């Protein structure tokens, strides 16, 4: 199934296809039916379909027919210090198709200080030229100010982007402060965007990296030692807190460790709108390889957050994926050659970060979760395709086999067994982090935009046919709950009589209480009142400072009257 060049692509004369005798598996149910496709769309589903003559027919022989996979996280052709990742949009999307994925969502990463819009246009241009399957884009927000705000607004309204990625790591570079995150999340919640976070505590990482280098640890093991998994869990916790304050749906990219996954599942139990995305690497392998004696091998596993050295992690993440606590799977496919990785051969902080996984994603989940009995085939479709489509607001156009949906589908062979190796994979990278792994389950036929692109192990991908699929804001999957809560969570002040008792004199000169120090009380300097004397707030208080008796007259506040107070407002808040 190696790539042979464009000359072998057969001319598909007709845009009409019929899949006969397959078992359609959607995320909600499975049933036997035929599928008729025309012009890249699914036109009919059912038994004994009436179709025009001369239609190419594929016999599924009872095999599963599933919606094509959606890889919601890729970094194809990503610029890095003047070079790019070795898999460009052509190479990368071919690998995707070979693995049964018919749509990818790539990250646009503008340099801090540059225009988001220009970066977006650049990525569009690259992708339009080369991709072999449909794609969408996330845009990373690498710095925050008013002009960025304006650009984000335009991207949502005009450019079909509904998800934006922010960083809690990479100190002094991409990293945002809590206040900035709060503002970004608030803004995205208003505009109906999804906030994606790279969750790691960048400040502690910077300290730990300095410490590791000081200790003389310069190899790839320093990467994982300086980024222990609790830093990931901490940041996830913080991101969830900020998102819940701003009532913004949160999407945690790259869930790499058990503790981070636990935090997400706890938050979901409390009702937070949060989605977790484990990636192929965290579902399939672990971080013990960072200690490999082979530098190049160890370096090929470097990604952030790092793979957890705990070998039980993949199994655990697959379990949470099966139970629905983690929602989607990406690959974070971002491949560098060994020579590129070797930039950091004397300093692990310089190793470019990224692992492969776009091709292996679906087979790996089938092997680790479905064949082990953790997950059923419908859930498999949900986590590899449908949930992603729902979050991106592309459902049911993508992620479902239904009349009117795009004809992106896969005939899945549940029994085929392959051994993963860099020799045969479709990526241009020399290493494969899953090297030697035997995986059960593979795509038999892949249909993308109504055309057969994989058949009998031969890939017939065409560069540049991939279309940009615009995503609209306010996806129901994330925003329905948020909208309802917005109506409930209106805070109200307690109407009280004016407090007209004594006010202590104070100076604003030092140590004011936070932020709002500008708003001083207008009655800063109480005039000394001659009524004075017998005013008492609490019966007969012990002698106190000179202020107790300073002003007087009757005040509206009496100790003993304890009227009812409105607790209801806050209860609502608590429930959210």
Applying the rule CB under 8 A, the residues between 151 and 180 that interact with another protein are 170-173, 177-179
Selected from 218, 265, 288, 371, the binder of another protein by CB under 8 A is 218
- Between 495 and 534, CB nearer to another protein: 495
Listed ranges 340-348, 366-374, 375-383, 393-401: which one lies at the site for another protein (CB under 8 A): 340-348
The residue with tokens 């070795």 is: 86
DSSP-derived secondary structure for 526-554: PPP-SS-TT--SSSSPPP--TTTTSS-S-
Selected from 190, 230, 315, 376, the binder of another protein by CB under 8 A is 230
Selected from 56, 345, 440, 481, the binder of another protein by CB under 8 A is 345
Q: Give the nearest distance from C-beta 194 to another protein in angstroms.
A: 20
- Between 197 and 369, CB nearer to another protein: 197
User: Radius of gyration (Cα) for the chain, nearest Å?
Assistant: 29
Give, as ranges, the residues between 524 and 563 that touch another protein (CB under 8 A). 537-545, 547-548, 550-551, 556-559, 561-563
The residue with tokens 């899945």 is: 412
Q: Give the nearest distance from C-beta 78 to another protein in angstroms.
A: 11
Give, as ranges, the residues between 55 and 84 that touch another protein (CB under 8 A). 80-84
The residue with tokens 């017939």 is: 460
Give, as ranges, the residues between 91 and 130 that touch another protein (CB under 8 A). 111
Chain mean position to CA 182? 17
- Between 87 and 377, CB nearer to another protein: 87
The residue with tokens 């971080």 is: 287
Cα 442 to Cα 444: distance, rounded to the nearest angstrom: 6
Q: Give the nearest distance from C-beta 417 to another protein in angstroms.
A: 20
Which DSSP state fits 239? H
User: What residues contact residue 145 under an 8 Å CB cut-off, 6+ apart?
Assistant: none
Q: Which of 148, 194, 156, 85 is nearest to 479 (CA)?
A: 194
Selected from 7, 269, 519, 528, the binder of another protein by CB under 8 A is 519
By CB neighbour count within 10 A (0-12 exposed, 13-18 middle, 19+ buried), where does 129 fall?
middle
User: What residues contact residue 23 under an 8 Å CB cut-off, 6+ apart?
Assistant: 30, 31, 32, 60, 62, 63, 64, 65
- Between 72 and 439, CB nearer to another protein: 439
- Between 19 and 204, CB nearer to another protein: 204
Listed ranges 43-51, 240-248, 465-473, 474-482: which one lies at the site for another protein (CB under 8 A): 240-248
# of chain residues touching another protein (CB under 8 A): 138
Selected from 8, 31, 145, 339, the binder of another protein by CB under 8 A is 339
User: What residues contact residue 360 under an 8 Å CB cut-off, 6+ apart?
Assistant: 99, 280, 284, 331, 420, 425, 432, 434, 439
Q: Give the nearest distance from C-beta 503 to another protein in angstroms.
A: 4
Q: Is 575 in the site for another protein (CB under 8 A)?
A: no
Q: Give the nearest distance from C-beta 384 to another protein in angstroms.
A: 24
Listed ranges 23-31, 124-132, 198-206, 478-486: which one lies at the site for another protein (CB under 8 A): 198-206
By CB neighbour count within 10 A (0-12 exposed, 13-18 middle, 19+ buried), where does 511 fall?
exposed
Q: Give the nearest distance from C-beta 344 to another protein in angstroms.
A: 6
Selected from 30, 44, 154, 292, the binder of another protein by CB under 8 A is 292
Q: Give the nearest distance from C-beta 201 to another protein in angstroms.
A: 6
- Between 337 and 371, CB nearer to another protein: 337
Selected from 231, 279, 381, 442, the binder of another protein by CB under 8 A is 231
The residue with tokens 């990373």 is: 140
Q: Give the nearest distance from C-beta 139 to another protein in angstroms.
A: 19
Selected from 41, 55, 342, 402, the binder of another protein by CB under 8 A is 342
- Decide if 305 contacts 167 (C-beta within 8 A): no
Give, as ranges, the residues between 423 and 462 that touch another protein (CB under 8 A). 423-426, 428, 430-431, 435
Give, as ranges, the residues between 470 and 509 that touch another protein (CB under 8 A). 491-497, 499, 501-509
Selected from 49, 402, 465, 569, the binder of another protein by CB under 8 A is 569
Q: Is 422 in the site for another protein (CB under 8 A)?
A: yes
Selected from 512, 525, 531, 553, the binder of another protein by CB under 8 A is 512
Longest Cα separation, the chain: 105
Selected from 338, 402, 452, 482, the binder of another protein by CB under 8 A is 338
DSSP-derived secondary structure for 53-75: TT-EEEE-TT-EEEEPEEEEEE-
Q: Give the nearest distance from C-beta 319 to another protein in angstroms.
A: 19
Selected from 62, 514, 528, 530, the binder of another protein by CB under 8 A is 514
- Decide if 233 contacts 259 (C-beta within 8 A): yes
User: What residues contact residue 463 under an 8 Å CB cut-off, 6+ apart?
Assistant: 6, 90, 129, 130, 131, 132
- Decide if 361 contacts 332 (C-beta within 8 A): no
Q: Which of 210, 206, 277 is nearest to 239 (CA)?
A: 277
Listed ranges 24-32, 38-46, 128-136, 205-213: which one lies at the site for another protein (CB under 8 A): 205-213
Cα 442 to Cα 70: distance, rounded to the nearest angstrom: 15
- Between 407 and 442, CB nearer to another protein: 442
Q: Give the nearest distance from C-beta 352 to another protein in angstroms.
A: 8
- Between 183 and 455, CB nearer to another protein: 183
Structure token pair of residue 349:
């902080």
Q: Give the nearest distance from C-beta 366 to another protein in angstroms.
A: 23
Query: Dihedral (C-alpha) 91, 96, 99, 102: value to the nearest 10 degrees?
Result: -140
Q: Give the nearest distance from C-beta 170 to another protein in angstroms.
A: 7
Q: Which of 68, 77, 191 is nearest to 131 (CA)?
A: 77
Q: Give the nearest distance from C-beta 202 to another protein in angstroms.
A: 7
Produce one character per residue of 350-388: b if its CB has 16 or more CB atoms within 10 Å, e if not. Answer: ebbbbbbbbbbbbbbbbbbbbeeebbebebbbbbbbbbb
């Amino acid at each position: 199934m190696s790539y042979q060049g464009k000359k072998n692509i057969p001319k598909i004369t007709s845009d009409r296809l019929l899949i006969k005798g397959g078992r359609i598996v959607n995320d909600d149910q499975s049933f036997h039916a035929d599928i008729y496709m025309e012009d890249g769309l699914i036109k009919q589903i059912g038994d004994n379909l009436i179709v025009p003559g001369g239609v190419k027919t594929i016999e599924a022989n009872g095999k599963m027919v599933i919606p094509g996979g959606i890889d919601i996280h890729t970094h194809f052709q990503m610029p890095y210090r003047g070079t790019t990742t070795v898999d460009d949009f052509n190479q990368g999307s071919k690998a995707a198709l070979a693995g049964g994925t018919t749509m990818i969502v790539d990250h646009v990463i503008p340099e801090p200080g540059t225009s988001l819009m220009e970066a977006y246009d650049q990525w569009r241009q690259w992708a339009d030229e080369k991709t072999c399957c449909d794609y969408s884009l996330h845009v990373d927000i690498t710095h925050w100010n008013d002009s960025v705000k304006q650009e984000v607004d335009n991207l949502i309204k005009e450019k079909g982007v509904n998800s934006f990625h922010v960083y809690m790591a990479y100190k002094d570079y991409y990293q945002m402060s809590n206040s900035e995150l709060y503002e970004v999340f608030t803004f995205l919640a208003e505009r109906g965007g999804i906030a994606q976070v790279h969750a790691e505590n960048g400040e502690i990482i910077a300290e730990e990296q300095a410490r590791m280098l000081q200790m003389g640890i310069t190899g790839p093991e320093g990467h994982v030692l300086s980024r222990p998994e609790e830093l990931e869990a901490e940041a996830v916790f913080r991101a969830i807190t900020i998102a819940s304050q701003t009532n913004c749906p949160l999407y945690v990219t790259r869930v790499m460790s058990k503790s981070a996954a636990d935090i997400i599942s706890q938050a979901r139990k409390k009702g937070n709108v949060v989605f977790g995305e484990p990636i192929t690497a965290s579902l399939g392998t672990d971080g013990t390889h960072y200690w490999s004696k082979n530098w190049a091998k160890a370096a090929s596993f470097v990604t952030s957050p790092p793979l957890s050295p705990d070998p039980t992690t993949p199994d655990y993440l697959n379990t949470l994926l099966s139970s629905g606590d983690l929602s989607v799977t990406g690959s974070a496919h971002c491949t560098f050659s060994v020579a590129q990785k070797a930039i950091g051969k004397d300093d692990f902080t310089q190793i470019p970060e990224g692992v492969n996984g776009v091709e292996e994603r679906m087979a790996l989940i089938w092997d680790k979760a479905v064949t082990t009995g953790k997950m059923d085939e419908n859930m498999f479709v949900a986590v590899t395709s449908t949930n992603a489509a729902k979050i991106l607001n592309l459902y049911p156009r993508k992620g479902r086999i239904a009349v009117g949906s795009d004809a992106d589908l896969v005939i899945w062979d549940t029994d085929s067994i392959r051994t993963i190796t860099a020799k045969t994979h479709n990526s241009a990278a020399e290493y494969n982090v899953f090297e030697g792994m035997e995986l059960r389950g593979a795509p038999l036929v892949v249909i993308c935009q109504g055309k057969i692109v994989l058949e009998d192990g031969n890939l017939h991908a065409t560069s540049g046919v991939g279309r940009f699929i615009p995503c609209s804001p306010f996806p129901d999957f994330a925003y329905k709950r948020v909208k309802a809560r917005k109506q409930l969570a209106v805070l109200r002040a307690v109407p009280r009589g004016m407090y007209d008792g004594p006010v202590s004199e104070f100076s604003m000169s030092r140590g004011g209480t936070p932020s709002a120090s500008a708003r001083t009380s207008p009655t800063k300097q109480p005039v000394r009142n001659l009524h004075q004397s017998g005013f008492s707030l609490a019966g007969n208080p012990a002698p106190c400072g000179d202020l107790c008796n300073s002003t007087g007259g009757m005040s509206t506040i009496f100790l003993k009257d304890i009227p009812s107070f409105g607790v209801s407002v806050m209860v609502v808040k608590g429930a959210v």
